[in-house]
Structure 1
Amino acid sequence: MKAISKYLFGLLLFLCLSPLSGFSQKTEGMIVYERQEFWSKIIGQLTYLSNEEKDRVKQTWGKNDEGWKSKTKMYFNANESLLTNLEEASEYGWSSRTEDYYIYRNYEKEKKIELIEMLGKTYVLEDSLRAPNWKVLNQIKDVAGYICMKAVTEDTVKHQKITAWFTGDIPVSGGPERFYGLPGMILELEINDGDVVITASKVEFKKLEGKELALPKLKGKKIKDADYDTIIAKHIKDSIKSYRNPYWAIKY
Structure 2
Amino acid sequence: MKSSNFKSILFLFIILICLNINGQNFQGKAIYMQKSKMELGRWGARMSEAQKKQVAARLKSRLEKTYTLTFNMKESMFLEDDQIDAISGATDSWGGYFSRGDQYKNVKEEKLVQAQEFYGKRFLIKDNLHKIDWTMGTETKKIGNYTCYKAKAFVPNKELSWYSFSWSDLRKKEKKEDETEESQENMTVVEAWYTLQIPVAQGPAEFWGLPGLILEVSSGNTTLLCTEVVINPKEKIEIEAPEKGTKTNKDDYVAIVQKKMLEMRNNRMGRRRGR
TM-score range, shorter chain: 0.5 to 0.7
Change (3 A) 1:96 1:59: closer
Q: CA RMSD in A?
A: 3.6
2:248 paired with 1:223: yes
In the alignment, the residues of structure 2 paired with residue 216 and residue 210 of structure 1 have an alpha-carbon distance, to the nearest angstrom, of: 19
Gaps of 5+ in 2: 1-22, 87-98, 159-186, 263-275
Spell out, residue by residue over 1:177-222, the C-alpha distance to the aligned partner (whole angstroms, 9 max, x if none). 1111111111101123xx2111111100125766620245422x43
Q: Aligned residue for 2:5?
A: none
In the alignment, the residues of structure 2 paired with residue 150 and residue 205 of structure 1 have an alpha-carbon distance, to the nearest angstrom, of: 22
Q: Aligned residue for 1:51?
A: 45
Q: Aligned residue for 1:196?
A: 222
Change (3 A) 1:154 1:122: farther
In the alignment, the residues of structure 1 paired with residue 152 and residue 119 of structure 2 have an alpha-carbon distance, to the nearest angstrom, of: 28
2:27 paired with 1:28: yes
In the alignment, the residues of structure 2 paired with residue 170 and residue 54 of structure 1 have an alpha-carbon distance, to the nearest angstrom, of: 47
SS at match of 1:60: helix
2:101 paired with 1:73: no
Q: Aligned residue for 2:150?
A: 150
Shift of residue 128, structure 1, vs aligned partner: 2.6
Conserved? CA contact 1:37–1:196, under 8 Å: yes
Residue identity opposite 1:204 in structure 2? V
Alignment of 1:80-95 (within 5 A): 80-87=75-82
Conserved? CA contact 1:161–1:191, under 8 Å: yes
- Greater mean alpha carbon deviation, residues 125-134 or residues 142-151: 125-134
What is the TM-score normalised by the length of structure 2? 0.58
Conserved? CA contact 2:70–2:237, under 8 Å: no
Spell out, residue by residue over 1:149-203, the C-alpha distance to the aligned partner (whole angstroms, 9 max, x if none). 11112232254221111111111111111111111111101123xx211111110
Conserved? CA contact 2:124–2:242, under 8 Å: no
2:193 paired with 1:165: yes
Conserved? CA contact 2:116–2:124, under 8 Å: yes
Conserved? CA contact 2:139–2:150, under 8 Å: yes
Q: Percent identity?
A: 25
Conserved? CA contact 2:102–2:242, under 8 Å: no
In the alignment, the residues of structure 2 paired with residue 172 and residue 139 of structure 1 have an alpha-carbon distance, to the nearest angstrom, of: 20
Spell out, residue by residue over 1:68-98, the C-alpha distance to the aligned partner (whole angstroms, 9 max, x if none). 32111111111211111113xxxxxxx9757
SS at match of 1:213: coil
What is the TM-score normalised by the length of structure 1? 0.63
Residue identity opposite 1:199 in structure 2? L
Alignment of 1:134-145 (within 5 A): 134-145=134-145
Shift of residue 135, structure 1, vs aligned partner: 1.4
Shift of residue 103, structure 1, vs aligned partner: 1.3
SS at match of 1:30: strand
In the alignment, the residues of structure 2 paired with residue 191 and residue 100 of structure 1 have an alpha-carbon distance, to the nearest angstrom, of: 16
Q: How many residues align?
A: 194
Spell out, residue by residue over 1:27-65, the C-alpha distance to the aligned partner (whole angstroms, 9 max, x if none). 4111111101121xx34xx4x657347975455238xx9
Conserved? CA contact 1:30–1:204, under 8 Å: yes
Conserved? CA contact 2:124–2:243, under 8 Å: no
Q: Aligned residue for 2:56?
A: 61
Question: Which structure: greater helix fraction?
Answer: 2
SS at match of 2:157: coil
Change (3 A) 1:100 1:148: closer
SS at match of 1:212: coil
